[in-house]
Structure 1
Amino acid sequence: MSRDSESTADSPPALSHRAILHVDMDAFYASVEERDRPELAGKPLVVGGLGPRGVVSTANYAARQFGVHSAMPMARARRLCPQAVYLRPRMDCYREESARIFSLFRRYTPRVEGLSLDEAFLDVSGSLRLFGSAEAIARRIKTDIHETTGLTASVGVAHNKFLAKLASDLQKPDGLVCVPADAVHGFLDPMPIRRLWGIGPRTEPKLKAQGLLTFGQLRRADEAVLRSLLGKRAEHFRRLASGEDDREVVSDSPDKSISHEVTFDTDLTELQEMRAELQHLTDLVAARLRRRQLLARTVVVKIRDPDFRTVTRSRSMPAGTDATQTVYHLARALFDGWRKSHPSTPVRLLGVGVSGLDHHPGPDAEPGETTPMPLDGPDSRPLDALMDSINRRYGGNKIVHGQTLRRRRGDS
C-alpha cells in the first residue's frame, strides 16, 4: 500500500485508501495453556466445559486434525479425540493476556475494534507515515505479541474489514496475508462460496445446485438467478463477493457492564451451594472492577432454571462501589428474594453482573465521591486489597472467601 494514504486519526480516509488489519490470535486459550504448561507441547489440547453440558471453547491445531472445533459439544470432542488433554478455561488469565495484547495494538493506532478477547480490527491508515506500510505494521504487531506474550497471531491486511478478516484465516497459524487493492478479484474469485459471510448450510446447497460454487461465479451470476436464490440480500452478497465493504473500524467504547456467569453440569438444589457460587461470581466481578479502576452503581443477578426460564434482578446504590462484600450482599439479597418465591426450584445457571460504571475518583476525591461502606458488616476494602495483591503475585485465585469453599466441585 502507498504511503500517500495517510490521514488523521479523527477522520477516516477514502475507502480505497484505508489500511485495515484483522489480528486473530492462534487457538488463543489453548495456546496460553501450552505456554504455561510446556509439558503439553505437541499434544492435542481442548479447552472448555468438562461436564455433560460442556462445549469446546478452543482446540489447538493438533486436536483440530481429529475434527474437534470450537462450539462443539464436549462429549463429541471426547469421542473424536479421546487422547487429548482436556482443561477448563482460566478466563481471568485469558482476559489479562488479552488486555496486554490490545495495549500493543494501541501503540500503533487508537482505531481498535475488538471482536472478542482474541481478535480485533485495526485501522492503521493514519499511522503509515510514522510506522511504515500496513504490512510493516502487521509484522511489527506480530513480533510485539510474540516477544511480550510468547503467543502467535495471524494477520490479514487489506483496504476493508471483509477482505482483512478473510485474509487472516488463510495461513494459520502465525500467518500474514496482504490483499492489494488491485488484486481483489484474483484473491476472492477462487474461494468456495461457504466462506462468504451469511451463506449458511441452508443457502449453500441452493447456490451449488445452480453451479455457483465460488465467489467469482456468484459475482458474475445472472441478477435474476441471484434474486430467486437470495431474495432482497442478493445485491449485498454480490458486493461481498466483489470485495466491497464500506464499514468503518469502530473504536471500542468504555465498558458498560462487567459480569460472570456459570452453567452447572448438574442443577444446584442446595441453598448453601447457590450462595457459595454467588460469592465466587461476586469475587470475580469485583476483582475486575478494581483491576480496571471502576466503580459500579448497579448490581444484577441472573438465574436460569432447568426449564430454561431466565430471570434477572437488579438494584442500584446511591454511590458506586468496588468492594466485594458490598456487591455480594446486594447480590445475595436479590437472589434470596427470588428464592423465597421459588423455594424448591433447582438452578441451572447463575450470574452476577454490575453496571452503571464510572472511573474510580482516586485518593484525592472530594467527600461523597469515594467508595461507600458495605451495606452489612465491616469495610471489606482492606481485605480486598490484600487478596488482590496475593492473587496478582501468585496467579489465579490462591486466596478466596471461605464461603466459596462450599462450592460444588466439578462444574464448568
Structure 2
Amino acid sequence: MNNINRLSIIHLDLDAFFASVEQRDNPAYRGEPLIVGGISGGKGNSNRGVVCAASYEARKYGIHAGMPIWEARQKCHRGIFIPSQMNKYLEASKKFFQICSTYTPLIEPLGIDELFLDVSGCESLFGSSETIGRKIKERIHQELNLKISVGIAENKFLAKIATNLGKPDGFYLIPSEDIQKILYPLPVSALWGIGKKSEELLKKSGIYQVEQLAKMPDIILENLMGKNGIKIKLLAQGIDNSPVTPLSEAKSIGKETTFGSNISEKAVLLKELLKISQIVGYTARKEGYKGRTITLKIRFQDFTTFNKSKTLENSTHLDDTIFKSVVELLEKVRYKKVGVRLLGIKLSNLTPGNRIRQLKLSKDKEDKLEQLIQSLDKVREKFGTNAITRASLLSNLSSEKSFL
C-alpha cells in the first residue's frame, strides 16, 4: 500500500536558475536561447570564461553549465550572452530559502538554487510531504515568479532522482512500492558516484542499467570498482541512509572561476583573486556568516590542482582579510611552467556573522570599516558584485608580468 507518510524527503531545484531570473526580469530574453556566463568586464562579445547557466531554449543547442563560452558561441550563433549578476541571484535564493524554512528547520542546501528538506513530523502542521511540496511550488511561482522542480521520496538519493525525472517545472513522487519499477530502467550514470570513467568501466563489463548493477554479486562489484562499489550498489537498490544536514552543521562559502584561456601573468591572477574575494566576502555578509579558514584552489593547464589553507585567529567576512590571506597562500604554491586554468576561494569554519568581532581592530576602526563595507555592498546590490573595487587593495597588486 502506498504510504505517503514514509516519503519525508523533498528535493527542490530552481530550473535554469540564473537564466530564469534574467528571463523573469527582462521580457526580451524570454523564449530566447539565453546564456549566462563569467564574461570578463561584462562585455557580451568575450569568449572567456564558462557558461554559468543556460536557458532551456539554449539547452536545445547542446549548451550546458561548465561549457567554455567560446564553444557555446559555436553551438548557438543566435544565442544571447550576458554576464552573471550574482546580487540578483542571491536575493532570489534568500527568498527561496525563507519560503522553505517556514515548513521545516531541516534544510540542506546543495547550492543557492537547490536543497533537500526533511519534513518528517511536520504532517500535523502542514499536511503530507506532497501537500508541503505543492505549497512550496505554488509560493515560488507566486512570490518569485520562477519555475521549480520538486521530487519527493523516502530518501535524498531517490528524491533527487524524482526531481530529475520531472524536470522542467515538474512534480514527481517515487512511492516506496515503485522504487524498483522507476529506478531499475535508468542508466548507471544516474547513480551518485558514477562519473564518466566509472560508467565506461561498467559498460565494458556489460553493465548499462541500474538493475544490472543492483543485482551484481558484491565480490565482483568490489573487484571492479573497489569498496565504493558496494555503496553504489546500495543506491542502485534505492537505499540511502544519509541524513538531511542543516546549513548550521556543516558549511562553507566559496567561488571558483575557470578561464577560457590559461593565465600566467601574476597581476591578472591577483586581480581575479580580488574579484573572487569580493564575491566570497559579499556572499558571507549577505548570508550572515564569518569564517576562520580560508582556502585557495589553483588548477594549472595540465589539470594539476593545489589547495592551500590558512586558519585565522579570528573569524572574518571582510574582503581585505580574505584577499590578503589568499595572496599569502598563492606565494606558497609550487608553480608549474604552464598557465593557470582555474582559481577558487573558500571560506569555511563558519560562525554567525553578528557574534564575532575582528578583535585585532579597535572597536572604532572596525565600526568604520564595517560602515565602509556596508556602503560598498549597497552599490554591489544595485550594480553587481564587480561594480566597485577597493583602490587600496588594487594598489597592492604586483606589477610583475609573470609568476611562472
TM-score with structure 1 setting the length: 0.75
* Mapped contact 2:34–2:54 kept (Cα < 8 A): yes
Determine what percentage of the aligned residue pairs are the same residue.
36
Instruction: Determine if contact 1:2/1:133 at 8 Å carries over to the other structure.
Output: no
Tell whether 2:352 aligns with 1:359: yes
Q: Which residue of 2 aligns with 1:44?
A: 33
C-alpha spacing 1:257/1:165, structure 2 compared with 1 (3 Å): closer
1:60-209 to 2 correspondence within 5 Å? 60-198=55-193, 200-206=198-204, 209=206
Pairing partner for 1:384 from 373, 377, 382? 373
| Matched residue, 1:12 | none
Kept after mapping to 1: 8 A contact 2:19/2:54: yes
Q: How far did residue 32 of structure 1 move?
A: 1.8
- In structure 2, the CA distance between the partners of 1:321 and 1:179, relative to structure 1 (3 Å rule), is closer
Kindly provide the amino acid, as one letter, of the partner of residue 351 in structure 2: D
Q: Tell me how far apart the structure 2 counterparts of residues 189 and 395 of structure 1 sit (CA, whole Å).
A: 45
Partners of 2:281 and 2:318 within 8 A in 1: yes
Give the equivalent residue in structure 2 for 1:293: 288
Q: Does 1:31 align with 2:20?
A: yes
Residue range with higher mean Cα deviation, 172-181 or 298-307 = 298-307
User: Which whole-Å deviations, capped at 9, do the CAs of 1:365-395 have from their partners, x for residues lacking one?
Assistant: 8xx8757259x99953332122123333555
Change (3 A) 1:251 1:292: closer
Give 1:324 shift. Answer: 3.6
Preserved CA contact (<8 Å) 2:49 2:259: no
- 1:350 deviates by 4.3
Cα separation, partners in 2 of 1:136 and 1:228, compared to 1, 3 Å: same
- Residues 347 and 377 of structure 1, relative CA distance in 2, 3 Å threshold: farther
CA contact (8 A) 1:56 1:70 kept: yes
CA distance in 2, matches of 1:197, 1:385: 41
Q: Match for 1:141: what amino acid?
A: I
Matching residue within 18, 21, 41 for 2:10: 21
**Superposed CA offset, 1:288-313 (max 9, x none):** 33323334445555555556565566
Evaluate the alpha carbon distance shift between residue 291 and residue 188 of structure 1 in structure 2; reply closer, same or farther with a 3 A threshold.
closer
Distance in 2 separating the partners of 1:78 and 1:401: 33
> 1:265, 1:31 → 2: CA distance?
24
CA distance in 1, matches of 2:329, 2:234: 50
Give the total of aligned pairs: 385
Deviation digits for residues 101-137 of structure 1 (CA, Å, limit 9, x no counterpart): 1222221112222223222221111111211111111
Shift of 1:143: 1.2
1:44 maps to amino acid: P
Taking the aligned partners of 1:293 and 1:203, their CA distance within structure 2 comes to 44
Trace 1:273-284 onto structure 2 (pairs within 5 A).
273-284=268-279
Give the superposition deviation at 1:159. 1.5
Q: Report SS of the residue matched to 1:47.
A: strand
Letter in 1 for 2:171: L
Deviation of the 1:144 alpha carbon: 1.7
SS of the residue corresponding to residue 97 of structure 1 reads helix
* Bigger CA radius of gyration: 1
Contact 1:154 1:171 in 2 (8 A): yes
Counterparts of 2:104 and 2:350 in 1: how far apart (Å)? 25
Distance in 1 of aligned mates of 2:227 and 2:324: 52
Matched, 1:258 2:247: no
CA contact (8 A) 2:279 2:385 kept: no
Q: Is the 8 A contact 1:324 1:380 kept in 2?
A: no
RMSD of aligned Cα (Å): 4.2
Q: Which amino acid aligns with 2:279?
A: L
Residue 169 of structure 1 aligns to a residue whose secondary structure is helix
Give the Cα separation in 1 of the matches to 2:329 and 2:360.
21
Q: Which runs of 5+ in 1 are unaligned?
A: 6-16, 408-412
- 1:316-357 per-residue CA deviation (whole Å, 9 max, x = no partner) reads 55444444434445555555x559x97x99655444454454
Distance 1:352 1:224 in 2: 41
Question: Residue 119 of structure 1 aligns to which amino acid in structure 2?
Answer: E
